[in-house]
Each structure stands twice: as C-alpha cells, then as structure tokens.
Amino acid sequence: MILIGLLAVALVTPFLIPLKGYVPEVTRLVSERLGEPVSIKNLRLQLLPTPRVAIVGLKLGRRDEVTIERGSIVPDLLLLLSGEKVIRVVFADEVRVKQSALNLLDRLSKSGGGGEGILVRRIVLRRVMLEHRSLKLPPLNVVVDLALDPTKTVARISSDDGTFRATLVPQGGGRSRIAFKARNWRLPITAASLSFEALEASGVLAGDRLDLPQVRGSLYGGKIAGSFDMRWGRRWQIAGRAELDGVRMVPLETALGRPARLSGRLTARASYSARARSASQLAGGLVLAAPFEIADGEWHGVDLSRAAELPLGKLAKGGTTKFETFKGNLALRGKHIDVTEICVRSPSLTAAGNLAIAPDKRLTGRLDVSVSKTGGFIGAPMALSGTTSDPSMSLTTAGAIGAVIGTMLLPVIGTSLGLKASSSLEGKVECK
C-alpha cells in the first residue's frame, strides 16, 4: 500500500507543479511562430479531470487584441506515448476579441504558422465576446470538430443565451455550407434593434463572401423572406431583397429609432445594396427601393379630414387620420429618402402626393387631400414642411390664393371652389 501511495504521488506531482519558470520561453516560441506578441500570466500541469496544461491570462497582439482568461490543452496520452502528436481538446473560456483583432486573426490564418506536425481534434471556446463598434453580439460558444478530411470538419456556433445557433460544414475549395436558426433574436447592429420571433437562413461561406439565397422568418407578427449577399476585402458590399407581409408598423418604427406615427400592417417588396470601405460605413451607403402598402392603420399627429377647414393657415397639429390603405414607393439613398406615389384612402378622405426627407431630417413635399364626406367637392393642396420629429402641413401658395379669391367672390362655397381651382392649376396629384 505504501508503494502504491508513493507511485500515485510520483504520477500526480508533475501535473500539479507550476510552470511559471517556463513561461518566458514558451511565450517566446509562440510569438516567433505566430509573428505577434504573446504573454501568459501562468502555466500549470494538472491531472484532473484529465491530464492537461492549464493556461491563465493569455494575451495576443500588440494591443491585447485577443485575451483568454482561462484555457487548457488536453493531449491524447496514449497516442503521445506512441510518438503521435495529437491534441484531444483545446479549450478556452472568457475570450475577448477586439474589433482590430479580426484583421489579425485573418492574417494568422493565411500565414500557415503554427501547428505543424500536431493534430488537433477539437476546439472549444466558451463565452466569446466580440468588442465591435457596429455589432452588439451576446457571448458566443464555439465548438469545432476537426478531421483529417476537411469536408468532415464541423463548426458549431451558438449564443450563450440560446437565441441562435449556426453550423458550418466545409465543402472543399475554401467553401463551407452554412445554416443559421434563431428564436427571439435581436439583430446585432447598433443602427437598429430589430427583433425576430424566428429567423432561418442557409447558404455558402466562400473566402471573402457570404451568400444566403434563402432567408425566411417572422417579424413583429408578420412574415419576412428574401436573400442576403455580403462581400468584404478591399471594400464591403451587401445586396439582396426582402419581402415583408403583415408586419406591425409600431414596433418596427420603434426598433428603427423613429417616432411611431403609423400603425397598421405593412406589406413591402424591397431590393437593397450598399458599398463602403468598412462594415460600419455600409448603413451610410445603403440604396433601397421598396413599393409598400400599409393596411387598416392610423397616421398619428395629423387629421387630414380637417385639411379644408382652415384654408388660410396651417393644419392644426394633433389628431389622427384613419385609413384603409396607405401605399407608395420608398426610395432611400444614404440618408436621403423619397416617398413617391403616396395614396391614402379611407371612407372619409383620399390623399395623394410625394414626400422627401433630407439628411438633416427636414421635410418637403405635397399632398392633395379630398374630403369624400362632401362628395369629393372639397380638395386641398397641402405643402409639407418641418422635420420628421416636428412635421408641419399648410396650404400651398396657390391653394391659399385660390381660397382667398373664392371666399371674396362667394363666401363659404367659394372657398371650396377656390381650393379646387388651385389644385387644378398646380397639377393635382391623384391616387393610382
């Protein structure tokens, strides 16, 4: 028994001793192999739960672009004794990756440095945090099962909160098949906070291109389907389409950081593209075209049915315009927005026109409003002005002149005649 105890101590001791004295030599060798500064706070050999080298406080890069709080390397002892260099698992926990590290990691992956003669079977990364200006990702878990045949290698990525998971399977030639599924998932970009009840996508990751020809899901009570194509390298590019059906407007506007002025259900068919020097600049270069229709909603902040009641002044703010349909064509180029062929219909009125929103959020445009409760007799040409947060509507110049002349010639009914005449002179816009 004493002999067995001594043998156990002899076996366990090497896996419990600190290797702090070896840290400088180990970091020097790793730095030379990777071509980047590497520092390690502590190394230790451990026996339990299986023999391994434990690493504490690893930092990679001149500005600590990648840091690992804890990690371990677990060898296959039986194969190691036979002369084969096989690592069963490389494990890392609490990994922080700065935005600047993305270029560093891409350079290291192409350099071919490190790992010659060593076979790694599995890589496990837990609670990976990406520090990025434009992305807000939750902590990620990554598991990569490596194989001698690259086409049998599988990488699995999931969020720590369980909202999404993705799978990558190499196909050879630098191509990988990718599949993505999410539930109650928030789009991880700072420019918007869209939240999907469900989202699925599949496609191919090849070099510097991600092509997802099939995207579908549910968003704010409606459905979404489309495609997404992204390329990066010297310039970043995105392109695709999106079809929305029955999406509720109020939560959509709120998620996009805009006042919730429209309610109802949105249907749209959009195509989009963007090019920029960096991912963070893509939003500023976005080009989008989208015919749309909103059904059974309200336009909050203005009551268009009162357009003909105050012909000599601005339309009073406040109130609500109820409509059965609100349709038009949305065109976005960078921060400039045009909405053309606007048509608003309800049992009480019809309104048609065009609207432009400048990069500074200022509004310009015109709406021709006909109040149908008077048999369509009264039409008012309204000019749009102000800003998106404080819009203003008033009669156009010709509309105001026509109203004054009509009132002077024939009080009450003359006002309506003057408004109708001014609309004809200006070229009345009608619903199509």
Give the ranges where 303-396 is alpha helix by DSSP (H).
none
Strand partners, 157: 142, 166
List of residues 6+ apart from 28 with CB closer than 8 A: none
pTM above 0.85, yes or no: no
Phi/psi of residue 307, each to 5°? -60, -35
Residue 184 has, within 13 A of its CA and on its CB side, a CA count of: 3
Q: Which of 14-23, 50-59, 227-236 has the lowest mean pLDDT?
A: 14-23
Q: Where are the domains of the chain?
A: 10-131, 173-292, 301-432
Burial of 95 (0-12, 13-18, 19+ CB in 10 A): buried
Q: What is the mean pLDDT of residues 336-352?
A: 90
Q: What percent of the chain is predicted at pLDDT more than 70?
A: 74
Q: How far apart are CA 364 and CA 391, in angstroms?
A: 10
Cα–Cα distances in Å, from 336 out to 15, 129, 264, 283, 358?
65, 35, 24, 12, 5
Q: CA dihedral in degrees (388, 252, 430, 272; nearest 10)? A: 100
Q: What is the mean pLDDT of residues 92-101?
A: 86
Which pLDDT score is estimated for 72? 87
Q: How far apart are CA 40 and CA 29, in angstroms?
A: 12
Question: For all residues of the chain together, what is the average pLDDT?
Answer: 78
Which pLDDT score is estimated for 368? 84
- 3-state secondary structure at position 64: coil
Q: Which of 34-48, 237-251, 265-279 has the lowest mean pLDDT?
A: 34-48
Which pLDDT score is estimated for 412? 40
At 217-248, the pLDDT tens digits run 999 999 999 999 999 878 889 999 999 999 99
At 291-328, the pLDDT tens digits run 999 999 998 888 887 765 654 456 667 788 899 999 99
The number of helix segments (H) and strand segments (E) in the chain equals 7, 22
Which pLDDT score is estimated for 93? 94
The DSSP bridge pattern shows strands 86-98 and 119-120 to be parallel
Burial of 164 (0-12, 13-18, 19+ CB in 10 A): buried
Residue 305 has, within 13 A of its CA and on its CB side, a CA count of: 17
